[in-house]
């Protein structure tokens, strides 16, 4: 059985439109097609998206699929934060919806390749510590 060295080379090349024929979102001029981008939640969404993108190495390194998943992660994060704000005010929230959103966020972040890296919290050897910090 013969395998192709580069199966993606057999795919048709998609031509990109001139920037004037693409949406403001595609050109990076806007984050949403039809939304005011100045509100507090829009700003928070933009902040969360920026943090996720930076965790992945920067927007210039991401494929369109990764950028789309990062946007979904930011959206789910904001939905969870809004619910957390309501809970902090003493209001009841739908814990099933909150749990579902949290699980979906975790799965989406895993798909993006973000992993939890536990910190080493092993206490230092007291003698080594004393030697290192003695005058």
Task: Please indicate whether residue 132 or residue 11 has the higher confidence score (pLDDT).
Answer: 132
pLDDT at 117 over 80: no
What pLDDT shows up at residue 135? Answer: 72
User: 127: burial class by Cβ within 10 Å (0-12, 13-18, 19+)?
Assistant: exposed
pLDDT at 8 over 50: no
* Angle, helices 64-88/40-55, rounded to nearest 10 degrees: 130
- pTM exceeds 0.95 for this model: no
| Confidence bin at 134 (pLDDT 50/70/90) | confident
- DSSP assigned state of 44: H
What pLDDT shows up at residue 82? Answer: 95
Structural domain spans, the chain: 14-115
The residue to which tokens 């814990």 are assigned: 95
pLDDT tens per residue, range 47-58:
999 999 999 999
């Amino acid at each position: 059985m013969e395998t192709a060295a580069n199966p993606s080379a057999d795919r048709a090349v998609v031509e990109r439109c001139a920037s004037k024929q693409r949406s403001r979102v595609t050109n990076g001029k806007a984050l949403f097609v039809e939304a005011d981008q100045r509100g507090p939640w829009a700003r928070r969404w933009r902040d969360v998206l920026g943090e996720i993108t930076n965790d992945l190495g920067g927007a210039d390194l991401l494929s369109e699929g990764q950028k789309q998943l990062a946007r979904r992660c930011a959206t789910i994060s904001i939905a969870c934060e809004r619910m957390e704000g309501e809970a902090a005010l003493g209001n009841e929230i739908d814990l099933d919806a909150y749990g579902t959103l949290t699980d979906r966020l975790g799965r989406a972040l895993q798909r993006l390749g973000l992993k939890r890296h536990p910190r080493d919290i092993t206490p230092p050897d007291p003698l080594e510590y004393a030697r290192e910090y003695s005058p």
